Structure 1
């Protein structure tokens, strides 16, 4: 795994992975060969999809375990403890895709349903022998290739492939759900939807958990639990991500100063804006602008654009 993008934090006897994204969209792709010895189970706030590309091993999900062969696909939500282990004589290698669930919420909330599973009743593996494994595997490899090569338009191509992949997951897992299970999953998203709409409308302003609890007509403690349960992140983490995304948008699409971007995206303090932006993005705001700004691209173009 990338040492500079993944950090293990010990929480009691568990390990939480804190993942930062290397690109201006919240998607990472990386190759990983698990250890042949047992390692602690971990979890993370991102969603994850894995493809075994070679070797053999075992993939553990809590009390469940799957024998792994090349071509197997694995789906991991933001709450379930998991870890992979390699076979000693034939170590396995995976391509993993990590992404922020907000990508799916912004597109079509139903795409999150396959990741809203209950661990003990869910099959995390799509076997290599399944007709669905090959097209999903091809999309995983495409996302990895786009994020590695970084050719023009790679972010759009990676996002498009991810959405295609999640549609395939939705159709596959929805076919195995009973009407009661489907209603339970969709009802859980409908419960939190008013809060997400409110935050999306007001994240540029001071907003507190109590405001969200009020619109949901529940207590703040229950609202806090609902965020963690449905999104795998706290209210504050969700709010921060919206503000970071807005700051990134303003930095690459306007000439506003970093201070103006700070307050226009909802941050109340310039020092905390710089600190949180660097922690989340890996670059200072103005360095991010230099790297990704459309204006910078045009300014560095040597040939005039044809009309």
Structure 2
């Protein structure tokens, strides 16, 4: 399983940069991974070109990959940062990250937590770190990491600032309908999800829903669900030691032969061949 979808977990050093340090005041950098940071104490500031955000205890921060940004500690702070690759995270987490960055893809995003919500987020981070740092990963390590990371992202969305919520497209527009449908698909792709049921949620006929979805996403809803299941299976093959037949069932295929057929069609290898290739390349 390796380190699964997390590249690095870091703790803040509890110090304050002094102004006399000059150019060292802001620590500017960028990284290929996405970042999720929780401020546990103190105060600071994050900045990008033309964008400056004051942060304090309880702020849950999302920073997109390759965004050049800086930070400065204003009052001795503590926090935990998780670096991850959004295309390698589990399916629903992938949707939650993408949805957060959809409206502001080149900005640092902040959600403000307090009380038990902050305690819950910190606990999820500790659990994520505990599983990630194990020398030997147990059978359920991947699932524990997935649950902890999903909890963090859900905390971000539930507590996102009103300003960010206000920037979302009006409820009822075609784009909003498809975005809501994508959320449902990512949350329940592994079930017997019917396109007709999705369409009925938004009071649309199945044919009109298919047309709107295909125009906006580029492929049909059925193709999207199949692609999502296969990509999730590929991640599980790489990041876990779970049996192939079990993975086939977990991602939503009722027929293992159909799973093998589609996997070979999309990736040019059988699931077993793909797993062996990944094991060889990581050694």
Normalising by structure 1, we get a TM-score of 0.49
1:149-190, Cα deviation, whole Å (9 max, x unpaired) = 466322211111111222232333397346625655665765
2-side partners of 1:25 and 1:250: how far apart?
Answer: 11
For the pair 1:144 / 2:144, whether they are aligned, the reply is no
Q: How does 1:234-273 map to 2 (within 5 A)?
A: 245=235, 248=238, 253=243, 266=267
For the pair 1:113 / 2:99, whether they are aligned, the reply is yes
Q: How does 1:274-285 map to 2 (within 5 A)?
A: 284-285=280-281
1:198-235, Cα deviation, whole Å (9 max, x unpaired) = 588689xxxxxxxxxxxxxxxxxxxxxxxxxxxxxxxx
Given that 2:236 and 2:242 are in contact with CA atoms closer than 8 Å, whether structure 1 keeps it comes out as no
1:39 matched residue in structure 2: 27
Given that 1:73 and 1:128 are in contact with CA atoms closer than 8 Å, whether structure 2 keeps it comes out as yes
Q: How does 1:65-214 map to 2 (within 5 A)?
A: 65-78=52-65, 80-87=67-74, 91-102=76-87, 106-107=91-92, 111=96, 112-118=98-104, 124-127=109-112, 129=114, 132-149=117-134, 152=138, 153-173=140-160, 176-177=165-166, 180-181=169-170, 183=173, 184=175, 187=178, 191-192=216-217, 194=219
2-side partners of 1:249 and 1:138: how far apart?
Answer: 23
In structure 2, relative to structure 1, the CA distance for the partners of 1:41 and 1:130 (3 Å cut) is farther
In structure 2, relative to structure 1, the CA distance for the partners of 1:102 and 1:22 (3 Å cut) is same
Normalising by structure 2, we get a TM-score of 0.52
Given that 1:143 and 1:161 are in contact with CA atoms closer than 8 Å, whether structure 2 keeps it comes out as yes
Gapped regions of structure 1 (runs ≥ 5): 1-20, 204-238, 255-262, 278-282, 288-307
**1:92 Cα deviation (Å)?**
3.6
Given that 1:56 and 1:92 are in contact with CA atoms closer than 8 Å, whether structure 2 keeps it comes out as yes
2-side partners of 1:285 and 1:171: how far apart?
Answer: 39
1:255-298, Cα deviation, whole Å (9 max, x unpaired) = xxxxxxxx968369xxxx9xx95xxxxx74474xxxxxxxxxxx
**1:69 Cα deviation (Å)?**
3.2
Aligned residues: 213
2-side partners of 1:107 and 1:100: how far apart?
Answer: 14
1:23 matched residue in structure 2: 3
2-side partners of 1:146 and 1:59: how far apart?
Answer: 29
Deviates more, 1:56-65 or 1:122-131: 122-131
Given that 2:30 and 2:69 are in contact with CA atoms closer than 8 Å, whether structure 1 keeps it comes out as yes
CA RMSD of aligned residues (A): 4.9
Given that 1:73 and 1:137 are in contact with CA atoms closer than 8 Å, whether structure 2 keeps it comes out as no
2-side partners of 1:197 and 1:144: how far apart?
Answer: 36
2-side partners of 1:197 and 1:35: how far apart?
Answer: 53
Higher relative contact order (CA 8 A, sep 6+): 2
**1:56 Cα deviation (Å)?**
3.9
Given that 2:38 and 2:59 are in contact with CA atoms closer than 8 Å, whether structure 1 keeps it comes out as yes
- Tell me, what secondary structure is at the counterpart of 1:51? strand
